Amino acid sequence: MTFNDKLRKITLKNNSLLCIGLDSELAKIPQHLKERGHPQHEFNQAIIKITHDLVCAYKLNTAFYEARGENGIRELKRTCDYLKESFPEIPVIVDAKRADIGNSNEGYTKFIFDYLSADAVTVHPYLGQEALKPFLDRLEKGIFVLCRSSNPGAGEFQDLEVNGKPLYQVVAENVADKWNYNNNCGVVVGATYPSELEIVRRIVDKIPILIPGIVTQGGDIEKTVKSGVDSEGLNAIINSSRGIIFAGDGTDFTQKARQEALSLKNQINEFR
């Protein structure tokens, strides 16, 4: 099954566009879990167990695991393995923001798609389509290209005018028109830029858009949903990380996470 098929199936089954970002920074997880053998993974497992019926995907940002070196990588893999075994119908997006020349990208695809068995990855566009071939050639995977990032300074290069339009639009056009020959591309657009999101949606038609930056970073839910979904009300993967997983910091953190996730899922559905 391709990433797109998997995404469509779970979106309909769970009636959800919500993606939970497992940005499980060790310093922020509840105290009682920190002494466990695999604290990040045990935290993730608890969050997944209580939210799996509310999501269309889980996203794991490698930065929060790499920070701990080989131990963190081991925990990242445990969570990916757990998801694959227990909830194989839920797509796993590894938010790695990789991209190198072709030769090196072979190594990154081995890490993300073979070692971690992820369903999708995020990549930087700067080196161009030719360099990203090892990613783009993976027919069954999802390749999300950074188009408009959610940070306040995103415009430094992304807003520069090229042929009468900002660079982020050229990236969106190239991905939609040229890179997507295997129908496995997506783009990333921050919820903090709803006007840009609306424009990108028009450019990419039905291509999935991964949308980080809601809640904690300040992205507005109504604008995000209305600008982000395609003509069928699908293919927007709206991610919240810290706002859900760190909603509580005591022994009731799973209940707090579920409340937040359920509330956000419902708010999103209101505007679809």
Give the C-alpha separation, 133 to 16, whole Å: 31
Least Å distance, CB 133 to a copy of itself, is 9
Catalytic residue set: 97
Segment lying near a copy of itself (by CB under 8 A), choices 36-44, 63-71, 203-211, 223-231: 63-71
Nearer to a copy of itself, 54 or 64 (CB): 64
Q: Which residues lie below 8 Å from residue 83, measured CB to CB, with a gap of 6+? A: 48, 58, 90, 92
End-to-end CA distance of the chain: 26
Which residues in 65-124 contact a copy of itself (CB under 8 A)?
Answer: 65-71, 73-74, 77, 95, 97-108, 110-111, 115-116, 124
Interface with a copy of itself, residue 146, by CB under 8 A: yes
- Report CA-CA distances (Å) from 131 to 99, 107, 123, 126, 127: 8, 13, 11, 9, 6
Nearer to a copy of itself, 1 or 115 (CB): 115
- Report CA-CA distances (Å) from 218 to 153, 212, 222: 15, 10, 12
Question: Can you say how many angstroms the Cα of residue 165 is from the centroid of all Cα atoms in its chain?
Answer: 26
Give the CA angle between residues 123, 19, 177 to the nearest 5°: 40
Least Å distance, CB 68 to a copy of itself, is 7
What six digits make up the tokens of 234? 């699908």
Torsion angles phi and psi, residue 268, rounded to 5: -60, -45
* Secondary structure (3-state) at 232: coil
Segment lying near a copy of itself (by CB under 8 A), choices 2-10, 62-70, 218-226, 230-238: 62-70
Nearer to a copy of itself, 61 or 184 (CB): 61
Interface with a copy of itself, residue 152, by CB under 8 A: yes
Least Å distance, CB 94 to a copy of itself, is 11
Interface with a copy of itself, residue 37, by CB under 8 A: no
Query: Which one of residues 23, 42, 119, 260 is an interface residue with a copy of itself (CB under 8 A)?
Result: 23
Least Å distance, CB 223 to a copy of itself, is 20
For a copy of itself (CB under 8 A), the number of binding residues is 60
Instruction: Give which of 88, 78, 25, 93 is closest to 52, Cα–Cα.
Output: 88
Query: Which one of residues 37, 85, 153, 231 is an interface residue with a copy of itself (CB under 8 A)?
Result: 153
What six digits make up the tokens of 206? 């039905």
- To which residue do tokens 């930056």 refer? 213
Residues at the interface with a copy of itself (CB under 8 A): 23, 25, 61-71, 73-74, 77, 95, 97-108, 110-111, 115-116, 124-131, 146, 149-158, 160-163, 167, 170-171, 174
